[in-house]
Amino acid sequence: MSKPLVSIIIPTYNRAHLIGETLDSVLAQTYTNWECIVVDDGSTDTTDEVLKLYCDKDERFQFYNRPKDRSKGANACRNYGFELSKGEYINWFDSDDLMTPEKLTLQINELHSSSFDYSICQTMMFDVQNNKEIGLRAPKIKSNNIFDDYIAFKIFWLTGAPIWKRSFLTKNNLYFDEQLYQAQDFDFHYRVLAISTNYFPYEKPLVIFKKHNENMSNSATNTEEKLNSNIKVRLNILKNYKSKLSSQTKFKLYEDLLNIYKFTIKNKNFYISFKLLVDLIVQLNFINFKFYTRVKIFINLITSYLSFFLFNKGERFLKFNF
């Protein structure tokens, strides 16, 4: 088999203390024809010094700064890295995760000269604080109803798990949404699955996800940007892919939005909650609720917003029972 170039693209921000281990796992790959493009999102630590060491050590490493005219965030760094890359295959990766030594070899073996558009492997979760493995990120990565099960989190994978054929990405104009501050991989992957579910599932873990307090998904801070990102992604699915979703999954998405709505009201984010209130009322017409349930949710939505806005209370109106 020929050895096509694989582009590993890593966004980073203030991970000088973590990224070295990630780059060491890239260096340890048994598949050697790769380039590793690291794009910095404006770090204020010693990331540039760490990357200089790796670039001096091995010319396959490249280090760039996100252009100032691009939005801040990992997604802009991922897209910029993709634009700079030359590989026939693309593996976006995170700056605190690890590749097992045979990740590239095993996935490229299945992809090259095949009709698959991409390959996905399992991910092992590792608890850094307790220094132990805590299980797979998801029990499985393929099913008989892939799109619906991915939206419902019955199957799942993170950014580093897939390796993509570049031709598939460019043909379908697939880029990360640079306006999202959370749920970026969820958004990218459901848009991919809406186009193609033709992938090879490698059921063994080839990525190690290090769970620690600095993970964005573990952050206790629900900033306005994060809330808007989670709302945007779920509303896009409900608005644009209803025909692909089961009633149960539509209920789940709507329930997720209701929980965000409750959070924004309790925390007096009245502008966000009002915009979401309007969307929730509109979407009520497209969810297969019984008429009584639809009316009850509508009343609770309106009453809860007014109660919190005017009197800063109204907990009993935030109970939505399907």
Q: How far apart are CA 246 and CA 237, in angstroms?
A: 12
- Do 55 and 99 sit in the same domain of this protein? yes
Residues 35-92: pLDDT tens digits? 999 999 999 999 999 999 999 999 999 999 999 999 999 999 999 999 999 999 999 9
- Do 115 and 231 sit in the same domain of this protein? no
- Out of 196, 218, 240, a domain closes at 218
Residue 123: CB atoms within 10 Å = 22
- Do 205 and 274 sit in the same domain of this protein? no
The amino acid present at 321, given as its one-letter code, is N
Q: How far apart are CA 196 and CA 13, in angstroms?
A: 32
Asked whether 175 and 160 are in contact (CB, 8 A), the reply is: no
Q: Are strands 61-65 and 89-92 parallel, antiparallel or unpaired?
A: unpaired
Asked, for residue 32, whether it belongs to a domain, the answer is yes
- Do 87 and 15 sit in the same domain of this protein? yes
Helix (H/G/I), strand (E/B), else coil: 48: helix
With tokens 């608005």, the residue in question is 239
- Do 136 and 228 sit in the same domain of this protein? no
Asked, for residue 62, whether it belongs to a domain, the answer is yes
CATH number assigned to the domain comprising residue 118: 3.90.550.10
Residues 204-219: pLDDT tens digits? 999 999 886 665 554 4
pLDDT of residue 220: 45
pLDDT of residue 215: 56
Asked, for residue 243, whether it belongs to a domain, the answer is yes
- Out of 218, 251, 281, a domain closes at 218
Q: How far apart are CA 66 and CA 79, in angstroms?
A: 10
Domain that holds residue 230: 224-318
- Do 187 and 242 sit in the same domain of this protein? no
Residues of the chain with confidence (pLDDT) below 70: 1, 212-222, 322
